[in-house]
Amino acid sequence: MRKTGTLTSTPRPSVLPTFLTSSEVADLLRTTRKAVYAMVERRQIPGVVRLGRRVLFQERALVDWLGQKSSPSER
């Protein structure tokens, strides 16, 4: 007789990076996709990942970058 075991799912780590598309970044920055691509070419946006022709953005890098840009400067 064969005993069947139950599969236990291990929790997935939440440290995997989340990626955004150019459309999602444009919505986040309240601009157009064309402007986002121009910022990528000028290297003004952090967390850019290129996969072939596709351009993705690391969500954590963008959120940190936006936090730095919105924090008041010290005098």
Q: What is the pLDDT of residues 59-74, one digit of tens each?
A: 999 999 999 988 776 6
- Counted domains in the chain: 1
Q: What pLDDT score does 3 carry?
A: 59
Please give the model's pTM, rounded to 2 decimal places.
Answer: 0.71
Residue 46: inside a domain, yes or no? yes
What pLDDT, on a 0 to 100 scale, did the predictor assign at position 53? 94
Residue 48 forms part of a structural domain = yes
pLDDT in tens, 36-51: 999 999 999 999 999 9
Look at residue 33 and tell me if it is in a domain.
Answer: yes
d(CA 65, CA 60): 8
Nearest Cα neighbor of 19 from 54, 53, 49 is: 49
Residues 6 or more apart in contact with residue 60 via CB below 8 angstroms = 17, 18, 47
Domain limits for position 59: 19-67
Q: Which residues contact 26 (CB under 8 A, 6 or more apart)?
A: 32, 33, 35, 36
